[in-house]
């Protein structure tokens, strides 16, 4: 049964479709990375075909990560990527992250609907008890977006990840549990209009 945890099914909503991230998405990822500020808080930008392939290959080679391309259902364009990671069937937990969106998709219904789809996958399909989010303590936009989903802020993890420049980041930890989910799901549905 745990192999189901590491499958990457296509998840479709009204505004966004999440499909397994593959090398064929490389050029579309470059087009979506339309502003350098998108990658301010991530390990590496995606500016070239080689960087896009390296990003995809890193996702595919991580056994605890299931990566998705985020596709705008109206335009059909790839507008970013997101992942399930730190997948732990034994403890029935996982994290949502490695998320980035093109500037044009930020502030739309795409991100909250993508998270709704991933949370349904986690809580309803996989029966997880805990979902986590990790973000740089200084990334206020990400922290606000995670909190707006209904995740609870749980504290800081010092020297948790290394930044692209080699410095160590302190990570803000957020989480949602299976006990939270029944109240949060209808709120997210209203937010995305589904």
Binned at pLDDT 50, 70 and 90, residue 14 comes out as: very high
Residue 77 has pLDDT above 80, yes or no: yes
pTM reported for the whole predicted model: 0.94
Question: Which 8-state DSSP code applies to residue 3?
Answer: G
Domain boundaries, the chain: 2-192
More confident residue, 5 or 158: 158
State the average pLDDT over residues 146-159.
Answer: 97
Q: Would you state the pLDDT for residue 1?
A: 55
pLDDT (tens digit per residue) in 18-43: 999 999 999 999 999 988 888 887 76
- Sheet containing strand 78-88, strands side by side: 11-12, 16-20, 65-72, 78-88, 93-101, 130-136, 168-177, 152-162
For the chain, what is the mean pLDDT? 94
Helical ranges in 41-96 per DSSP H? 49-61
Give the pLDDT of residue 34. 82
Predicted confidence (pLDDT) per residue in 91-101, tens digit = 999 999 999 99
Over 90: is that where the pLDDT of 137 sits?
yes
Share of the chain above pLDDT 70, in %: 97
pLDDT band with cut points at 50, 70 and 90 for residue 115:
very high
* Residue 180's pLDDT band (cuts 50, 70, 90): very high
For residue 63, pLDDT beyond 60: yes
pLDDT of residue 43: 66
Structure tokens at 53: 């392939």
- What per-residue confidence (pLDDT) applies to 163? 83
Cα dihedral 72/52/67/62 (nearest 10) = 180
Does the structural domain 2-192 have CATH classification 3.10.20.80? Answer: no
- Judged against a pLDDT cut of 80, whether residue 106 lies above it is answered with yes
Q: What is the pLDDT of residue 45?
A: 81
């Amino acid at each position: 049964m745990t192999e189901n945890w590491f499958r990457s099914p296509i998840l479709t909503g009204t505004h966004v479709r999440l499909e397994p991230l593959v090398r064929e998405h490389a050029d579309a990822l470059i087009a979506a990375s339309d502003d350098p500020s998108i990658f301010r808080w991530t390990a590496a930008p995606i500016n070239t075909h080689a960087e896009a392939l390296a990003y995809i290959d890193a996702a595919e080679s991580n056994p605890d990560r299931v990566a998705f391309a985020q596709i705008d259902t109206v335009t059909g364009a790839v507008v970013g990527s997101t992942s399930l990671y730190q997948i732990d069937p034994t403890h029935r937990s996982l994290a949502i992250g490695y998320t980035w969106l093109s500037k044009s998709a930020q502030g739309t219904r795409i991100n909250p609907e993508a998270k709704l789809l991933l949370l349904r996958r986690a809580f309803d399909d996989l029966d997880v008890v805990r979902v986590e989010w990790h973000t740089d303590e200084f990334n206020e936009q990400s922290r606000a977006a995670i909190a707006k989903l209904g995740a609870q802020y749980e504290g800081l993890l010092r020297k948790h990840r290394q930044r692209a420049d080699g410095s160590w980041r302190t990570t803000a930890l957020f989480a949602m549990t299976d006990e939270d989910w029944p109240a949060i799901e209808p709120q997210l549905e209203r937010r995305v209009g589904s």
